[in-house]
Structure 1
Amino acid sequence: MNAIELRNVSKSYPLFKVDNISMDVKQGFITGLIGPNGAGKSTLIKMITGLIHPDQGTLRTLGRDMANNEVAVKQRLGIVSDECFYYEHLTIRETASMIAPFYSRWNHTLFKNYLEQFELSPKKKIRDLSKGMKIKFSLAVALSHEADLLVMDEPTSGLDPVFRRELLDLLAGMIQDETKSIIFSTHITTDLERIADYIAFVHRGKLIFNEAKDDVLERYTIVKGDTDLLDADTRRHFVGIRETKVGFEALSDNKEEAQRLFGDEALLHRPALEDLIYFTAKGGHQHA
């Protein structure tokens, strides 16, 4: 079962295009969406949540075509973003009273419990909340109508380390219920290394891969060695290279091939997700 299905989805803007993306977000798992700024992550998130519609291709969210079933799909969708969409002059209680009638599965007791857990006073005005508190409030709203799909767009960027860890534990607990799914777009890749099951990597509007996180980190490797190991043939093997006066560091998307090419002459080690973004964005011509 898939929570989200994109088939040949494209969206064009004057200076940017999401280009022919097909991918699935599996039900019951956390999928991390990564890529440099301007890669197309936010455009994808906006299409998945129905804020914008693709120019081409089809998009199904929770088994339904979003364009024709927007109200029904949004009943089952929770959105947490680092942007605040609420009226600043209202209190938390007033805002919740305004939101609750839109959701058939709104649970007042659950909402009250989350406010207590997140230490949010219902009397506090939205404008008096810190960035972290606003994200906690958005999360309380998203979780209180028993959403089947949680869409998170840079949710941890304003959070202190303690609540970030708390939030990740909460999300990991949420998907113990295998009917729930999470798509999590972030540039804080260490968060995804902690909790994501799958990683979708977008670069310049194209999908580079969408695979199980452990498979990705097993397939790619960082190669470190002397620059005399680099020639036209070995350079072609790398996704991206960073060269210095004393050596090079490069990313290969084929660990076995890299081991065969370099043997004991270079040092190979497992990359972090951040390395995949950095070297893919930089390409083959980065000197330091």
Structure 2
Amino acid sequence: MMHSLEIDGLTKTYAGSGFSLDKVTFSIPRGTIMGFVGENGAGKTTTIKSILNTVKIDSGTIKLLGTIMTDKDTAIREDIGVVLDAANFSGVLTPARLSKVMNGIYRQWDQQEYIRLTEKFGLPMNRKLKDFSRGMSMKLAIAAALSHRPKLLILDEATSGLDPVTREEILEVFQEFVEDESRSILMSSHITSDLEKIADFITFIHQGKIILTAQKDELIYDYGIARCRQEQFARIETSDRLAYRKKDFQTDVLVKDRQAFAQKYDGIIIDNVSIDEILLFLVKGEN
């Protein structure tokens, strides 16, 4: 299987902070979208900075499209699109002027694609960016990132703070992007409902460590939460639970295969589970 991004044993420590990335390892198959989730301070942004070679890592390897990027490697940057949680374009520019700037930076700049996306997003080409709303600014950043024809798109909270209609428009564009199976997306987001709509895989990070990587459909359709009374919880074998959380008169148990669990443990109610709930169990639960 070909991968757009391969991270193996990534370690990064910030002196005096007490935080470090601890042997972070995951990969993104080509033609797929990887959701990247974790609580604030879990290490998502540091991982993305490491991928982009904007911080010096301590150890491990990061391959972008099969290549380890160095400071001198400018060619591979043509194939990487990046959208961060805040657009960094000068406020005095307009979308029309921005396209001329980008055309001078990227050899692969596709003006027709840029026009198509800005029209799709309804962006005024001659309005200064300082007068754009956050939603308009993020749409423009996405249009610019996609218009130099990248093969890997890296998003850090690109849809946070946007209204549902705007987010839906942006998610549609991301899905269009990966229809070409040579392209992939790494999407770091706190809005897990967006990831539930479009992601193929989800990677969970906590305190600088990867705690789970799985197919999104497996998480949504196979995982579940067993609602147990005290005597029911006592019957559950340790190997059949991923994590649990105790309440006053009930213990909720995260299970990997809710159908198999239901067959083995008759009489226990099992509910569907969301990405948010899985993260909460993995971070706050006991195991």
Instruction: Give the letter aligned to residue 205 of structure 2.
Output: V
Instruction: Give the letter aligned to residue 10 of structure 1.
Output: T
Q: CA deviation at 1:105?
A: 0.7
Q: CA deviation at 1:218?
A: 4.6
- The 1:219/1:54 distance shift into structure 2, 3 A limit, reads farther
* Greater mean deviation of Cα atoms: 229-238 or 67-76: 229-238
Instruction: Give the letter aligned to residue 2 of structure 1.
Output: H
* Greater mean deviation of Cα atoms: 69-78 or 90-99: 90-99
Q: Which residue of 2 aligns with 1:275?
A: 277
**1:31-66 CA-partner distances (Å, limit 9, x unpaired):** 111122211111111112222232101111111111
CA distance in 2, matches of 1:65, 1:187: 28
1:64-83 → structure 2 map (5 Å cutoff)? 64-67=67-70, 70-83=73-86
Q: Which residue of 2 aligns with 1:90?
A: 93
* Greater mean deviation of Cα atoms: 248-257 or 141-150: 248-257
Q: Which residue of 2 aligns with 1:16?
A: 19
Q: Which residue of 1 aligns with 2:134?
A: 131
Instruction: Give the letter aligned to residue 190 of structure 2.
Output: H
CA distance in 2, matches of 1:33, 1:271: 18
Given that 1:235 and 1:284 are in contact with CA atoms closer than 8 Å, whether structure 2 keeps it comes out as no
Query: What number of residue pairs does the alignment pair up?
Result: 284
SS of equivalent to 1:165: helix
Q: Which residue of 2 aligns with 1:152?
A: 155
Instruction: Give the letter aligned to residue 160 of structure 1.
Output: D
CA distance in 1, matches of 2:121, 2:277: 33
Identity, % of aligned positions = 32
**What's the TM-score once normalised by structure 1's chain length?**
0.90
Instruction: Give the letter aligned to residue 224 of structure 1.
Output: R
User: Structure 1, unaligned stretches of length 5 or more?
Assistant: none
User: Structure 2, unaligned stretches of length 5 or more?
Assistant: none
Given that 1:126 and 1:134 are in contact with CA atoms closer than 8 Å, whether structure 2 keeps it comes out as yes
Given that 1:8 and 1:20 are in contact with CA atoms closer than 8 Å, whether structure 2 keeps it comes out as yes
**1:110-160 CA-partner distances (Å, limit 9, x unpaired):** 212222111111222222111111110001101111111111111111222
Q: Which residue of 1 aligns with 2:33?
A: 30
Given that 1:40 and 1:202 are in contact with CA atoms closer than 8 Å, whether structure 2 keeps it comes out as yes
SS of equivalent to 2:166: helix
Given that 2:102 and 2:109 are in contact with CA atoms closer than 8 Å, whether structure 1 keeps it comes out as no
SS of equivalent to 1:70: coil
